[in-house]
Amino acid sequence: MTDDTKNKDFSMTDETKKEEDGGNQPTQRKNKYSLDDLRLTQDFESLGGSQKILTTVPIRKPDNQWFFRVRGGDYRAAVFVLEDNDSRKENYIVLPGIAPDIEAEIMRKTLHLAINRRGDLFLLPLKMPGPDGRTDRWQESMGQAIEMAETAWVRVKGNMGMSCYDIFQANGNLPDPQWPDMSFEDIFRIAVRDKIIDDENHPLLRSLRGEI
Amino acid sequence: MSPYEQLGFREIWCVDFEFYGGPGDLPEPVCMVAHELVAGRKIRMWRDELMSRRIPPYATDDDCMFVSYSATAELGCHLVLGWPFPANVLDLYAEFRCLTNGCSPPSGSGLLGALIYFGLDSMGAGEKQSMRELILTGGPWSDEERDAILEYCEGDVRALERLLPKMVGKFSLPHALLRGRYTKAATRMENTGVPIDMEALEALRANWFEIQDRMIIEVDKGFGVYEGRTFKIDRWDDYVTRQGIRWPRLPSGKPNLQEATFKDMAIAYPLIRSMHQLRSTLSKLKRLELAVGADGRNRCPLKCSRSSTNRNQPSSNKFIFTAPSWLRSLIKPGPGKGVAYIDWSQQEFGIAAFLSGDENMMAAYLSGDPYLAFAIQAGAVPPGATRETHWREREKFKSCVLAVQYGMEAWSLAQRIGCTEYEARELLNLHRKTYPKFWKWSQAVLDHAELRRKLWTTYGWYIHYPATINPRSVMNFPMQANGAEMMRLAACFGTERGVRVCAPVHDAFLIEFELAEEEEAIRTMQGAMQEASACVLGGYKLTTDVKVVRYPDRYMDKRGKTMWDLVWGIVGNLKG
């Protein structure tokens, strides 16, 4: 803020004094104060206000209209993922060794922390190569987009004919995103809060086994 | 310690004047009553005694305080009597407004309303129509009438005596005295007034009703929506449909014809500008009541602190700058004189930038062309773009900045710049993305209003939010109300440095000068305005633009030129 006189108060009620008071006597007489002394803060952020609480971080691919950025470094995690095809392909994180009987259904994915231009965070899943080390063009192009998104705003759109994502880089000189001041562990915890399969009797596993 | 001792002055004078005067004329003092509160002295003076004095009968030095209710009236009498202003002015009207701003006191904000608000005896105070009428006759008055007028005047002084102890401790005295300082500046502006071309005004007045009829005929030629003096809504509906204009509608489906809507649409569609001017003229100036005194000056009470943002709120049909813009061409400096219209460049953008501390926004303001800078920052035009190479994009981004300031929705912006709603929404999003710190601050302002139910300006003007709040108006409060603070300080600095300030105009001043002193007067006022902006913005100075008019030219607002030419053509025909 440009204001260096915050917490100065000459205002009228006790209640107000408690909020912004610098302990000055509101009825004190004339000419004691310069205009600079009389200046009250306009930094309403520091006086309270509110703070956005991060409650939801979806695990999803970016919408084909979003430009997004990916936070590099340690802001990613390799996990086992089970897709629930009945509920809009929701990604469930499966703890290792929980369900050896349905291993074929489970994929290894890396979740990358990403953000769109609206400032909404999401974990972008990228399928890892199979045991044979092979991957497909969808994953290759998405991996390429993720790499580019570490330094530039990009958008991806599925190209069915080519079986890959077309990647678009923003032309404008856009500012870098404002990442939240949180560790990846904290963000990850929010993202997977109700998406962890840590029990072999999880309804999704039972459903896949045909038990329910 | 008594409330008076607490205030720390040697003498505290509660003062009231009675006066008369025609519209636009300077006040003619009739009598004055003053009560000193510390030692208990009382003074009653009739007109002849007042006129014979060169200084007030009460002390006005730095150790004394002058208390009044709407002090510009009393200070206006000081000026016509040639008396100096008191060093310290406490205007209890301004303080009562500050204390209750946003709360609608049950009996209004007049002296009577303030007394009732504090549960005080209101007998003998406030406006009595019969007494006002008696005073306005201008005399002569019988001895009984004279006693009654003095008693009426003293009633208000006694009311001030009752009110002051109740209000002490409910306002910050240093800020109150700063507001009092502004009442002195406002009084000087009211006293100076705006120079008017009396010949032209008389020509308008002499034929005003006929001019209105002919204006309707002339303007309506391109529209065909009037039947006599009646504006036919269905014909207007047909007209806008024919022109392909998506006119805003009421829930009933009928076109929304409110002034604000018409004004917005006239900006978006220049072809309906003349119809907007016509409707505005007919509604505001049924009678041409511009308050112009016998000396050819437009004067009317500025009504300080009347609006919620602490801006002045002069009468819409008496003050030249609140009348339709074409009428401003009546402003004409006298022989050997000139006037200058000095306004802050993009004042609201500057306030938003420097109070929020958004570096991008500050850089955009300091570039000298914030609209183009915004387009560059948003990546819509290359860094080397200029007004000439990218004027179309600049206009779009300018509209976007203004739309944000007005709290406009995507739909309205789309109307204004002639694009799709989707494009307008994207443009508004660009503002959010380019200036995230401003938006965060703006949200904090809204949060504070919601949580604490009040906001304030840099110099202590408060607004309270007891009930539902309108987010757009709350978020705009810091820009409007701090803009008002800037105006008030600049008016103080300018008038105290001897500039003849004719009128404050939202984010500008009209000043008058002898042509030989033009440069100095303009430089002094620009300096005052820069200094005021630095005070409000913590050291950052906003720049100003100047438009000079020298005798024999007249002032011309470009928005009103076509209508002025039309009206003057009508006047010529009527004379011929």
Predicted local confidence at residue B287, as pLDDT: 83
CATH number of residue B8's parent domain: 3.30.420.10
With beta carbons under 8 A apart, name residues in chain B contacting A171. Answer: 379
Query: Confidence band (pLDDT; 50, 70, 90) for B127?
Result: low
Share of chain B above pLDDT 90, in %: 79
CB spacing of A2 vs B448 below 8 angstroms: no
Res B354: pLDDT: 97
Give the pLDDT of residue A8: 39
d(CA A45, nearest CA chain B) in Å = 5
Q: What is the mean pLDDT of residues A44-71?
A: 87
Q: Which residues contact B400 (CB under 8 A, 6 or more apart)?
A: B374, B413, B427, B428, B430, B431
- Structural domain ending residue among the three candidates B171, B189, B224: B171
Identify the residue whose tokens are 């001895």: B143
pLDDT of B471-520, one tens digit each?
888 999 999 999 999 999 999 999 999 999 999 999 999 999 999 999 99
Which residue on chain A is closest to B539 by alpha carbon? Answer: A2
Asked whether the beta carbons of B332 and B195 are under 8 A apart, the reply is yes
In a shared domain, residues B136 and B9: yes
User: Among residues B387, B521, B536, which one has the least CA distance to residue B458?
Assistant: B536
Residue to substitute from A7, A9, A11, A30, interface B, most B β-carbons within 10 A: A30
- The answer, yes or no, to whether residue B362 has pLDDT greater than 90, is yes
- Asked if the Cβ–Cβ distance from A28 to B174 is below 8 Å, we say yes
Confidence grade of residue A2 (pLDDT, cut at 50, 70, 90): very low
Domain interval for residue B49: 3-171
Same domain, B118 and B20: yes
> Is B313 part of a structural domain of the chain?
no
Q: What is the pLDDT of residues B402-446, one digit of tens each?
A: 888 877 788 878 877 878 889 999 999 999 999 999 999 998 898
The answer to which of A24-38, A177-191, B71-85, B501-515 has the lowest mean pLDDT is A24-38
Domain co-membership, B25 together with B161: yes
Rounded Cα–Cα distance for residues B310 and B460 (Å): 10
pLDDT digits (tens, 9 = 90+) for A118-147: 889 999 999 988 777 788 999 999 999 999
- CB-based contact B457 A32, cutoff 8 Å: no
pLDDT over threshold 50, residue B329? yes
**Of B403, B446, B445, B406, nearest in space to B428 by CA:** B403
Report how far residue B492's alpha carbon sits from residue B186's, in angstroms, rounded to the nearest whole number. Answer: 8
Residues A1, B357: C-beta atoms closer than 8 Å: yes
**Is residue A1 within 8 angstroms of chain B, CB to CB?**
yes
**Distance from A2 to chain B by nearest Cα, in Å?**
6
**Pick the residue with more confidence: A117 or B35?**
B35
Mean pLDDT, rounded, for B105-125? 88
The per-residue pLDDT of chain B, averaged, comes to 93
- Cβ separation A38–B8 shorter than 8 A: no
**pLDDT, tens digit (0-9, with 9 covering 90-100), for B212-264:** 999 999 999 999 999 999 999 999 999 999 988 888 888 888 999 998 888 87
**Greatest Cα pair distance in chain B:** 80
State whether the Cα torsion B358-B363-B368-B373 is positive or negative.
negative
Whether pLDDT at B390 is above 90: yes
- Kindly report, residue by residue over B153-188, the tens digit of the pLDDT: 999 999 999 999 999 999 999 999 999 999 999 999
Q: Residue B195 and residue B317: Cα distance in Å, rounded? A: 17
- Residue numbers in A near B350 (CB within 8 A): none
Nearest-Cα residue of chain B relative to residue A40: B458
How many angstroms away from the CA of B242 is the closest CA of chain A?
A: 37
CB contact under 8 A, B99 and A172: no
Q: Is residue B231 part of a domain?
A: yes
Using the predicted structure, report yes or no on whether residue B117 has a pLDDT greater than 90.
yes
Q: What value does the CA radius of gyration of chain B take, rounded to a whole number of Å? A: 26
* Structure confidence at residue A33 (pLDDT): 73
| Displacement of CA B153 from its chain's centroid (Å) | 29
**Structurally, how many domains does chain B consist of?**
2
CB pairs under 8 A between A and B: 132
A177–chain B Cβ distance below 8 A for any pair: no
Domain-embedded: residue B266: yes
B359 in Cβ contact with B437 (< 8 Å) = yes
Shared domain for B161 and B206, answered yes or no, is: no
* Domain termination site, one of B274, B289, B304: B289
Give the dihedral sign, CA B15/B16/B22/B24. positive
The residue-averaged pLDDT of B306-316 equals 93
Closest by Cβ to B170, choosing from A13, A36, A45:
A13
Report chain A residues whose CB lies below 8 A from the CB of B454: 16
Residue of A nearest to B440 (CA): A45
pLDDT of A37: 86
- Residues of B with Cβ-Cβ distance to A5 under 8 angstroms: 538
User: What pLDDT sits at residue A12?
Assistant: 42
Model pLDDT, residue A9: 37
Taking residues A187-191, report their average pLDDT.
93
- Do B166 and B228 have their domain in common? no
Chain A residues touching residue B357 (CB < 8 angstroms): 1-3
pLDDT cut 70: percent of chain B above it: 99
| B362 is a domain residue | no
Clarify whether residues B214 and B281 are in a common domain: yes
Nearest CA in chain B to A48: B448
Could you tell me the CA-to-CA distances from B20 to B27, B30, B70, B76, B145 in Å, in that order?
A: 6, 7, 16, 12, 15
pTM score of the predicted model? 0.81
| Chain B positions in Cβ-Cβ contact with residue A120 (cut-off 8 Å) | none
Are B104 and B16 within one domain? yes
With a cut of 90, say whether residue B567 has pLDDT above it: yes
Average pLDDT over residues B273-278: 92
Beta bridge partners of B28: B20
* Phi/psi-derived region of residue B24, left when phi > 0, alpha when psi is between -120 and 50, beta in every other case: left
Do A30 and B170 make contact, defined as CB atoms within 8 angstroms? no
Same domain as B162, residue B39: yes
Q: ipTM higher than 0.85?
A: no
Q: What is the pLDDT of residue A13?
A: 42
Predicted confidence (pLDDT) at residue B114 exceeds the cutoff of 80: yes
Same domain for B19 and B165? yes
Q: Which of A6, A14, A32, A35 to mutate to test the interface with B (most CBs of B within 10 A)?
A: A35
Query: Do B73 and B209 have their domain in common?
Result: no
Asked if A45's CB is within 8 angstroms of B535's CB, the reply is no
Residue B13 maps to a domain: yes
Q: Are residues B52 and B133 in the same domain?
A: yes
End-of-domain residue from the set B289, B322, B340: B289
Angle at B510 between CA B507 and CA B512, to 5 degrees: 155
User: Region B270-285: what's the mean pLDDT?
Assistant: 89
Inter-chain CB proximity A12 and B169 less than 8 Å = yes
Enclosing H/E stretch for B7 = helix B3-7
Element (H, E) at A181: none
- pLDDT on residue A14: 40
Please indicate, yes or no, if residue B111 is contained in any of the structural domains. Answer: yes
According to the model, what pLDDT value does residue B407 have? 77
Interfacial A residues in 27-86 facing B (CB < 8 Å): 27-33, 35-40, 42, 44-45, 47-50
Residue B238 inside a domain? The answer is yes
Q: In A, which residues are within 8 Å of B98 by CB distance?
A: 12
* Residue B8 to residue A42, Cβ atoms within 8 A: no
Residue B204 domain-assigned (yes or no): yes
Give the burial class of B42: count Cβ atoms within 10 A of its Cβ; 0-12 exposed, 13-18 middle, 19 or more buried: exposed
Segment holding B368, helix H or strand E: none
Query: Which residues lie across from B68 on neighbouring strands?
Result: B91
B19 and B54, same domain (yes or no): yes
| B360 vs A contacts (CB less than 8 Å) | 175
Per-residue three-class SS string for B304-350 = CCCCCCCCCCCCCCCCCCCCCHHHHHHECCCCCEEEEEEEECCHHHH
pLDDT band at A102 (very low <50, low <70, confident <90, very high): confident
